[in-house]
Structure 1
């Protein structure tokens, strides 16, 4: 009889043992599948967090220009970046805020224009917006899509004083004189810094801070504006050194100040890495433990069938076929066990499918890749669990198998 048919008959004849072995295999596959799904979810969330959170590297150097900032932003390590070009401007028909207190007698005449503009490429990378000291109340911030556009984001207090809303137009003039530039208000931000209790120059008041695209800042700065800082978001702290080297190559010398801010990365990405590592360890431990447990069970089943093995060997059945028969018996339970484990994990995913982090959403339904991985591991376990004990038993002579009943 073909050894595959013998395997089927053997499983059917031993229904109770087959059911118990299938239940054990299902538990092992459920643990494997849970670990695989957890690891895959952690890896996906880590990749998303690297892109969205990442590590911010701030570069300061007197020689940093807008063009050099853009060239450094094209480095392969950089996901997002923004230069910062501070300029002053005057409003045309726009009333700046004042300190609400008279200036001291010894105060020097105001030389700076009353409005402080910051030309940026991506306002979301600025520290006030990254850490919540400034928030967008209506509209949006400055984005890379605004390059070449005449838009602005104004502070809430300045907007309230001038009755501005998203969609309105303001007009600003360069500090040294020149034609006014009309800008469309695309957002209103709120700075949590309170108004000072003492007299403060208007350009230092938080309410007089506006954000505009880099091109607008260059025009209002009469071509003299250069970025004081540039912020680059990279994937991990390990890439900061490479970015530092690239900045030195572009500038012709090491930048005067390079600061790495990886606090958000440590707070959110590292826990995901630990969760993924724990899930991977769970898969490995389950694989080893499952192989050992199934190997012991198979060894006991083979010892109970010593007479059967002796008869088959006496009839001339090759030993490899006997080992193959037991492998088929165990492997035949692997795929149903994976299916049952998938159903069990799907039912359990609701109450227990979320990782313990604020940024991680619920584990998604079981996918084909996870099932294929677990099925492969289950088949490998079934082979190892039968071949190793099978070889130990089948090393004996058929006469020994038939006579030794202990």
Structure 2
């Protein structure tokens, strides 16, 4: 008789033992799938956190050119970057703020205009905005999409002084006074820095700061160099790669390189630990499952010595007896995987909720570090790849659990088996 058919008959004849073995296999497969789901959720959350939080690197060098800042920003490890191009400009048709205390003797500040205009590429990476000390109260910030537009972000004190709102147009004079550039207000921000208590030139007042795209800043003051640029990368390892590239481009030791990875450590490292723990769970479950099933199969072999002796005396090959036990166990693996898949689909949200960094605590911590807390929550779902992994591991467990105890079958002799039968 074909050993596969004989395995099916054996499973039907031993219904209680088959049900117990199936139950054990369901538990093993469900735990395996839970481990895979938790690991997948951790990997997805880690990738999302790296994009949303990442590591901010500040590169400072006197006279760093815009081209150098752009070449560093074009590296594949850089997600976002923002150089700063400060210039002085004048006001045309609106009043710049002035110090409440006039300068001694009525002296005026040096030339260059009362406005401190800063050319930026991505306002979200400006340190005051990134750290959360300065925030947008109306409108939006400047983004890379504004590179070819004349737009501006103004401080709320200057806006209140002149009755400005989002959508209004300002006319800003160049440093030399030879050109006037109209800019549309796209955002109003609040800087908590207080005005100086003593006399101060207008461009040192926090309310006279305007943020504009780099191209607009160049038209106002023709800045050729920047002293600072902020780069956002995904991890501290990528920050090291950026440092190596900066050494090559800017000259080793000629710049200041500062890494702010506190938010990354606080939010991403715990997620990585969860992923490593999930991988350990899968390994432990696989080993424990193989041991448990191996012991069960071994006990079955001992209980079925008479059956094995009869089959061997009839000329059945030993490898077919081992194959019969392997088929019996593997046949239970497939329905166990199906049941585990259904259970895993229901337990997926719980696996996502178990990850750190998904709730209000994460948002509060991220806000305290001054980073974007909009990390999308994980949505662990049972994918065909997950089911295939569980099926593969389950079949591997069934193979190990039958082949290892099956070594004893290869050592059996029908005469000794039947002679020992009472």
Q: TM-score range by the shorter chain?
A: over 0.9
Q: Are residue 27 (structure 1) and residue 33 (structure 2) matched?
A: no
Within 2, Cα distance between the matches of 1:35 and 1:145? 42
Q: Which residue of 2 aligns with 1:394?
A: 410
Secondary structure class of the residue paired with 2:225: coil
Q: Which residue of 1 aligns with 2:341?
A: 342
Secondary structure class of the residue paired with 2:141: coil
Within 1, Cα distance between the matches of 2:27 and 2:70? 55
**What TM-score comes out, normalization by structure 2 length?**
0.91
Q: Which residue of 2 aligns with 1:304?
A: 303
Q: Which residue of 1 aligns with 2:45?
A: 45
Query: Which aligned pairs between 1:367-386 and structure 2 lie closer than 5 A?
Result: 367-386=383-402
* 1:60/1:255 contact within 8 Å kept: no
* 2:108/2:201 contact within 8 Å kept: no
Within 2, Cα distance between the matches of 1:295 and 1:94? 85
Secondary structure class of the residue paired with 1:281: helix
* 1:59/1:255 contact within 8 Å kept: no
Query: Which aligned pairs between 1:203-214 and structure 2 lie closer than 5 A?
Result: 203-214=203-214
Secondary structure class of the residue paired with 1:51: helix
Alignment CA distance shift 1:334-1:107 (3 Å): farther
Within 2, Cα distance between the matches of 1:173 and 1:372? 66
Deviates more, 1:166-175 or 1:31-40: 166-175
- Give the CA deviation at 1:175: 2.3
* 1:39/1:279 contact within 8 Å kept: yes
* 2:349/2:380 contact within 8 Å kept: no
Query: Which aligned pairs between 1:238-277 and structure 2 lie closer than 5 A?
Result: 238-277=237-276
Q: Which residue of 1 aligns with 2:369?
A: none
Name the Cα RMSD after superposition.
Answer: 1.9
Alignment CA distance shift 1:404-1:214 (3 Å): farther
**What TM-score comes out, normalization by structure 1 length?**
0.94
Q: Can you give the 5+ residue segments of structure 2 that lack an aligned partner in the other structure?
A: 363-374
Query: Which aligned pairs between 1:14-163 and structure 2 lie closer than 5 A?
Result: 14-99=14-99, 101-103=100-102, 105=104, 108-111=107-110, 113-163=113-163
Within 1, Cα distance between the matches of 2:295 and 2:338? 24
* 2:319/2:410 contact within 8 Å kept: no
Alignment CA distance shift 1:227-1:185 (3 Å): same
Within 1, Cα distance between the matches of 2:151 and 2:207? 18
Aligned residues, how many?
404
* 1:89/1:173 contact within 8 Å kept: yes
Within 2, Cα distance between the matches of 1:175 and 1:35? 62
Q: Are residue 201 (structure 1) and residue 217 (structure 2) matched?
A: no
* 1:247/1:254 contact within 8 Å kept: no
Within 2, Cα distance between the matches of 1:74 and 1:81? 9
Q: Which residue of 1 aligns with 2:5?
A: 5
- Give the CA deviation at 1:106: 6.4
- Give the CA deviation at 1:107: 7.8
Deviates more, 1:386-395 or 1:103-112: 103-112
Alignment CA distance shift 1:403-1:188 (3 Å): farther
Q: Which residue of 1 aligns with 2:171?
A: 171
Q: Are residue 319 (structure 1) and residue 318 (structure 2) matched?
A: yes
Secondary structure class of the residue paired with 1:254: coil
- Write out per-residue CA displacement over residues 161-181 of structure 1, whole angstroms, 9 at most, x where no aligned residue: 222222211110112211210
